[in-house]
Amino acid sequence: MTAVPILMYHSVTDRPTPETRALSVPVAAFADQMAHLAEHGFAPVPFSAHAASRRPARGSVPPSERASGRPVVITFDDGYADFHENALPILERHGFTATLFVTTGWLADAGPDAAGRPLDRTLSWTQVAEAAAHGIEIGGHSHSHPQLDQLGDRALREELARNRGLLEERLGRDVRTMAYPFGYSSARVRRMARAVGYDTACAVANRMASGGADPLAVPRLTVRATTGPGTFARVVEGRDISRIFLKDHALTRGYAIVRRGRYAVHRALAPRGGDLPPHHGAAGRSRTERHVPGAGTSAERDVPGAGTSGERRDPGAGASSEQDICGGDAGGERDVRGAGAGGGDHLGERL
């Protein structure tokens, strides 16, 4: 099967917050990127339709969701308000669909279900429903945006099941796909995702998605503030992926080791028979664990000059010995604030 680019966006705005700046895309740049896809014969499909096409024995893809051109998947994480304000009108201009992964506890009118700390203005339930009515696929992104691989089993199940349950209750439709916050997952997290009803899930990994990918750890390609037109064109064509995301891939391998170690420490310190302490990411993190804005690597720029390491994200923590870290986003979804320039500080997705 031909490899398919699955693009990962977060915020589309000209006025990002300091914490979302690294992974925000200016409105004009996003418009140009969508125009590029249209002009070069790309046909966006929902993430679930792409995943189903990789497993023909499990059912057919509805004709309305089959790609009539070169397939591409456009995804958005978190559920920021600018999706409705800026991204959706541009998508509709081209007749494009996309998949929006929603953190339910972050929604503007979450009310008693509010949880976590969103980094910018977020969608309301009405806007999520409106996006769905306009052909946008809605998927889960946890309830409070924690580092899932650092949670004990009870908290992990609650995060995944509550997120999926709220989406299905409020939207009146089945929700079977999700994306992991920060891109971090492990064998245990993926088993739990399947147990609560998810068939497919996105990691990051910054690779093209091929037919051999784990359906619960499908790789995506990060689109950042520093992704210029030339880089975007190469990414969607699957050219120079290893070079463009070279630093991301190296960091992911190192952070996997760190996360395994941290998870082992958490387990050792947990009360006997009790759950692990929650590890949510931005709220309550130490200075070196929070996400910080910065620029991408020079390989991602369309201008000469070395970039900073500002798009790496916090290593977070690890999985148990039987858990392999999968898809952690070395270049787009780690989060750190304050590590010195060039010192491994990552910005990216607390998103």
Q: Are strands 218-222 and 6-9 parallel, antiparallel or unpaired?
A: parallel
Neighbours of 273 (CB within 10 A): 5
Q: Which of 204, 235, 46 is nearest to 131 (CA)?
A: 46
Neighbours of 14 (CB within 10 A): 12
The pair of three-digit structure tokens given for residue 259, joined into one six-digit string: 């996360």
- Kindly report, residue by residue over 224-258, the tens digit of the pLDDT: 999 999 999 999 999 999 999 987 666 665 555 66
pLDDT at 221: 96
The pair of three-digit structure tokens given for residue 160, joined into one six-digit string: 């995944």
Task: Report the C-alpha gap between 138 and 170 in whole angstroms.
Answer: 11
Neighbours of 303 (CB within 10 A): 9
Q: Are 102 and 123 in contact (CB under 8 A)?
A: yes
pLDDT at 85: 98
Neighbours of 194 (CB within 10 A): 15
Task: Report the C-alpha gap between 78 and 304 in whole angstroms.
Answer: 32
- Kindly report, residue by residue over 281-312, the tens digit of the pLDDT: 443 333 223 332 333 333 333 433 333 333 33
pLDDT at 23: 94
Q: Which H, E and C letters describe 312-336, residue by residue?
A: CCCCCCCCCCCCCCECCCCCCCCCC
pLDDT per residue of the chain (351 residues) written in tens, 0 to 9? 579 999 999 999 999 999 999 999 999 999 999 999 999 999 999 999 988 776 544 444 454 444 567 999 999 999 999 999 999 999 999 999 999 999 999 999 999 999 999 999 999 999 999 999 999 999 999 999 999 999 999 999 999 999 999 999 999 999 999 999 998 899 999 999 999 999 999 999 899 988 777 899 999 999 999 999 999 999 999 999 999 998 766 666 555 566 666 656 766 676 655 565 555 444 333 322 333 233 333 333 343 333 333 333 333 333 333 334 455 543 334 332 222 222 222 333 334
pLDDT at 273: 52
pLDDT at 250: 61
- The DSSP symbol for 276 reads P
Domains of the chain: 6-239 (3.20.20.370)
